[in-house]
Amino acid sequence: MPAPGRRPLLVWLCASPWLAQAQPRDALAERLRAGACVVLLRHAQTVAGVGDPPGFRVDLCSTQRNLSEEGREQARRIGQWFRAHDLRPRAVQSSAWCRCKDTADLAFGRHVVWPALNSFFEGRASEPAQTRQLRAALTQVPAGQFEVWVTHQVNMTALTGEGMSMGEGLVVDAQGKMVARSTFG
């Protein structure tokens, strides 16, 4: 019997709002199989920091904030989840930032750079145009297929209004509405 004033752990877990939002893995896999959606994936865990160091260059990984070893392992686990559920995205598109390309490659073994997924953390001037491009592309993913877009928190929030952790994915429907959230592993 729990001490007075303390709830048993199971009662607390069942009442937790984050648990109510979680979907069983099988339901998530089935949602992806139904298609007409995109997995917006925030790059995996990076070395400590916010943004990129002063003077960074998108074409030179050594000047950027990159994946930590934990992030590299996180990206591999994401890919393992998709393979374990026999889920193959029709496309894997990525921001040009190395942490995004590395996440895509470690998880899915491929990527195509798409500038609409590039970070606008340092300057918001391109945000409206990039978000319009993403919204238009969402409507082009057919039923029975899904895509993975590896990008940054600012892009995902601009599109969905949602916040997320590194390595977390949001499944977004053709209208840009989040229908699921997962760490895929």
- The average confidence (pLDDT) of the chain is 86
* Strand (E) or helix (H) holding 19: helix 17-21
Residues 100-148 pLDDT 10s = 999 999 999 999 999 999 988 666 677 889 999 999 999 999 999 999 9
Q: Mean pLDDT, to the nearest integer, of 88-107?
A: 97
User: How crowded is residue 34: how many other Cβ atoms within 10 Å of its Cβ?
Assistant: 14
pLDDT over 60 at 166, yes or no: yes
Cβ pair 95, 127 in contact under 8 A: no
pLDDT at 122: 63
* pTM of the predicted protein model: 0.83
pLDDT at 51: 73
First to last CA, the chain: 34
Out of 3.20.20.70, 3.40.50.1240, 3.30.460.20, 3.40.50.620, select the CATH number for domain 23-182: 3.40.50.1240
